Amino acid sequence: MKRISALLFTIALTASAWGADLSGHWVVETHNNDGTTRKTFLMLKQDGENLTGKVGFAWADQDIRDGSFQGDKLSFVVAYGHPPNERLIHWSGTVENDELHLTEARGRRAPEEMIAKRTSDDAGNPPEKLPVPELHEVPYNGLAKTPQMGWNSWNHFAGKIDDKTVREIADAMVANGMKAAGYIYVNIDDTWELDRDANGEIRTNKKFPDMKALADYVHSKGLKLGIYSSPGPLTCAGYEGSYGHEAQDAKTYAKWGIDYLKYDWCSAGRIYQDSDMRAVYQKMGDALQASGRPIFFSLCQYGRDNSWEWAPKVGGNSWRTTGDIQDNWKSMSTIGFGQNDLAKWAGPGHWNDPDMLEVGNGGMTNAEYRTHMSLWSMLSSPLLAGNDLRHVGPDILAILENKDVIAIDQDTAGHQATRLKKDGDSEVWTKHLANGDTAIALFNRGGAPAKIGVEWPEIGLHKKPHLRDLWSHRSVKAEKNGYSATVESHGVMLVRVSGGR
Ligand code: GLA
C-alpha cells in the first residue's frame, strides 16, 4: 500500500510539472551591492516540450534558441552582447512551486543560480515610444579639436566603480604623468545611477554620494569629469536611463559640473528603430547645448545606422564604430584593422571611436599593447585609458605616455590613417600630418617576425627623407629607395617621415 501511494505521489508530482504551463512573463531580480536591483524578464511561450520566446535584458530583447521543457526541466540559450563580440548564455533549471530555479552560464564566468518569479504579462514590456523630433543640425560645440584623451572606468572596473576610486584615479593621473601627457577626461561609465526623485531628477546611488563634490574635486586637479547615460529607460547594465528626461538630465549634468557625456543606445533599441537614432541623439545634442555648459558628446551605438554619416549633425564629437572591445589580440586587432573605410568621416570636432584602450589590463603582451596604442593613434581615435591607473607599471606608462605617438593621434590636421597596402599578415598604414610629415606604421599581424617595407614613391616622395622611430625615439637609417624593418610578431614599427619631397 505504502509503495502504491509513493508511486501515485511521484506520478502526481511529475504530472504537475508536465502539466505546468511556462507561458507568460517571469522576472529575475538581481540585487547589486549599491542598493539597485537589475531585472531580467523571461517572456516564455511553451508548446509541449518546445520553449520559445524572448529574454528581455536591459539593452535588448533576445530570442530564445534551443528551448526545451521536459518533465520538470527547462533549458534554453540566448545571445548576449553586440556583434562581433556576441556570446551565448545558457540557462537551465527546474520548475518548483511555480518558480523557475535557474542556473545561468556565460562563457568562463562561474555559473550563477537565480530564481524567476511569475509576473504580469505587461511587466518587462518597453514603455510607449515617445515622438521623435524633426531633424535639424545642432551647432558644433567647439570641443574635440583633436581626439579626446582621458580615462574611463568600464574596461577595468565595470560595476565596481565609486567616488573614492574616481578620486584616487584622478590623483594618480596627476602623479604618474598621465595628465601631463594630455589625458584630461576622467569618465565614469555605467552604474552610478539610482532612480528619480519626485520631480523626476536623476539621483546617484550610494557609490556616488555627491556628484557635484566629485566634479569639484576632479576640477581642482585640472582634470574634467565625464558621465554616462542612455536614451532608453535603462542603461546597458540595467540602471536608470534618460528616456523622457533628456533635457532635465542635461541640466542636472551641467549643475553638477559634468564635462562629458557618453550616451549609450542600450534599451533605446527596445523602443526605437535604428532609423530613429539620429533624431533620438539630436534630442540629447540639443539638450546639452541648452544646458549652458560645454559638454563633450560621445555617441555609443556600436556602429549601427552608419552613425558617422550623421553624428556631427546631432552635435556628436565622437561615435562608436564597433561593438565592445575586449582585452585580447583578436578583439583589438579585428576592430582596429577594420577601420580603413571610415577614414573620411573623421576630422577636427568629430571622430570615429573604435572603443576605449585596453592597454595595461593584462590580456595582451606589451608588443600587442604598443600595436594597440600605435593603431589607435594612427586612426585619430579617442585615447581613453581603461586600466587601473592607481597601480600601473613603468612599462605600461611608457606605452600610454609616449609623447611621439600621442602627437600622431593629436595631430591637428585630423586625417585618419588609411591602409597603403597589405601582404598576408603584413600591413602598412599611412597618415598625413599637419606639418607635411607622414606617419608610417608597419604592422605584423602574423605569428612570426616579418620584414615589411615601403618604397618612397609609394608615399609620394622622390628622395630619401629623415626618419624617426617613435617607439625607440631615435633616428633610423633609410635606404635610397625606401625603408624596411623586421617587425616582431603582433608588433609594429612606427616612424615619422620628414622631408624627401
Ligand atoms: C555598453 C558599452 C560599453 C559600456 C557598457 C556599460 O556595452 O558599449 O562601452 O559603456 O555598455 O554598461
What digits encode the pLDDT tens for the residues 451-487? 999 999 999 999 999 999 999 999 999 999 999 999 9
Q: Which fold has domain 418-498?
A: Immunoglobulin-like (2.60.40)
Ligand 1 centroid distance, CA of 120 (Å): 29
CATH superfamily of 149-409: Aldolase class I (3.20.20.70)
User: According to the model, what pLDDT value does residue 458 have?
Assistant: 96
22-51, pLDDT tens digit by residue? 999 999 999 999 999 999 999 999 999 999
The length of the chain, given as a count of residues: 501
List where CATH 2.40.128 sits in the chain: 7-119
Residues taking part in catalysis: 264, 324
User: According to the model, what pLDDT value does residue 83 have?
Assistant: 62
Alpha carbon 54 to chain centroid, angstroms:
24
The CATH code for residues 7-119 is 2.40.128
184-211, pLDDT tens digit by residue? 999 999 999 999 999 999 999 999 999 9
Q: How far apart are CA 417 and CA 421, in angstroms?
A: 12
List where CATH 2.60.40.1180 sits in the chain: 418-498
List where CATH 3.20.20.70 sits in the chain: 149-409
Q: Check: CB of residue 325 under 8 Å from CB of residue 331.
A: yes
The residue whose CA has the least distance to atom 1 of ligand 1 is 236
310-340, pLDDT tens digit by residue? 999 999 999 999 999 999 999 999 999 999 9
Candidate of 38, 80, 189 to mutate for ligand 1, largest count of ligand atoms within 8 Å of Cβ: 189
Q: What is the mean pLDDT of each run of 10 residues along the chain (501 residues)?
A: 51 51 95 93 96 91 95 93 77 95 91 96 93 98 98 98 98 98 98 98 98 99 98 96 98 98 96 97 98 98 96 98 96 98 98 98 98 99 98 98 99 98 98 97 98 96 95 95 97 96 83
* DSSP for residue 218: H
User: According to the model, what pLDDT value does residue 4 have?
Assistant: 55
CA distances from 44 to 53, 87, 125 (A): 5, 21, 13
Q: Check: CB of residue 500 under 8 Å from CB of residue 461.
A: yes
The residue whose CA has the least distance to atom 4 of ligand 1 is 154
For 7-75, the DSSP string reads HHHHHHHHHHHHH----EEEEEEEE-TTS-EEEEEEEEEEETTEEEEEEE-SS-EEE-EEEEEETTEEE
Ligand 1 centroid distance, CA of 228 (Å): 9
Q: How far apart are CA 352 and CA 342, in angstroms?
A: 7
Q: Ligand 1 site: residues with CB under 6 angstroms?
A: 154, 189-190, 235-237, 264, 300, 324
**Of 296, 295, 364, the residue nearest 335 (C-alpha):** 364
CA distances from 318 to 66, 149, 219 (A): 39, 12, 23
